């Protein structure tokens, strides 16, 4: 079963807009949520992450919003740039664990 779900599968926004990528999970034990950015032909790169004790994490134009009660989180990309066009993966892991579960990804296209 899909423990981590992402939506939408693909998203197109105009340059300068805020892109919102959604993620939800089933396992209440998950407490660490990294997001990855992947460009074609490259490996996924760690972009930003959040622990479940926080409800928000910012890093420049990238912000994670986390709702533990609803088991949902979202990645907001402010002032989207064409260079942000990539596939974004949401992932989750549990305490003391070494296995990270990945969602199926959201393909973002930022149009100039």
Partner 1 sequence: DSGVVQSPRHIIKEKGGRSVLTCIPISGHSNVVWYQQTLGKELKFLIQHYEKVERDKGFLPSRFSVQQFDDYHSEMNMSALELEDSAMYFCASSLTNQAPLFGEGTRLSVL
Contact call for residue 104 and partner 1 (CB under 8 A): yes
Q: How far is CA 74 from the centre of its chain?
A: 6
Q: Which residues of 78-109 are buried (b: 16+ CB within 10 A; e: fewer)?
A: eebeeebbbbbbbbbbeeeeeebbebebbebe
Contact call for residue 54 and partner 1 (CB under 8 A): no
Minimum CB–partner distance for residue 62 and partner 1 (Å) = 15
Minimum CB–partner distance for residue 12 and partner 1 (Å) = 16
Strand-pair partners of 10? 107
Residue 25 CB partners (closer than 8 Å, separation 6+): 3, 4, 5, 33, 71, 72, 73, 92, 101
Contact call for residue 34 and partner 1 (CB under 8 A): yes
Q: Which stretch binds partner 1 (CB under 8 A): 15-23, 59-67, 76-84, 87-95?
A: 87-95
Q: Which helix (H) or strand (E) holds 10?
A: strand 10-14
Contact call for residue 102 and partner 1 (CB under 8 A): yes
Minimum CB–partner distance for residue 47 and partner 1 (Å) = 10
Contact call for residue 36 and partner 1 (CB under 8 A): yes
Which residues in this chain contact partner 1 in the complex, by CB under 8 A?
Answer: 32, 34, 36, 38, 40, 42-46, 49, 87, 89, 91, 93, 95-100, 102-105, 107
């Amino acid at each position: 079963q899909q423990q981590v779900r992402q939506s939408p599968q693909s998203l197109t926004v105009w340059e300068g807009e805020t892109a919102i990528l959604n993620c939800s999970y089933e396992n209440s034990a998950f407490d660490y949520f990294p997001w990855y950015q992947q460009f074609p032909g490259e490996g996924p790169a760690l972009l930003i992450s959040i622990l479940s004790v926080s409800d928000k994490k910012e890093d420049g134009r990238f912000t994670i919003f986390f709702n533990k009660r609803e088991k949902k989180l979202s990645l907001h990309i402010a002032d989207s740039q064409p260079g942000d066009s990539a596939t974004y993966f949401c992932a989750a892991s549990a305490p003391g664990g070494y296995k990270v579960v990945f969602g199926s990804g959201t393909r973002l296209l930022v149009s100039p």
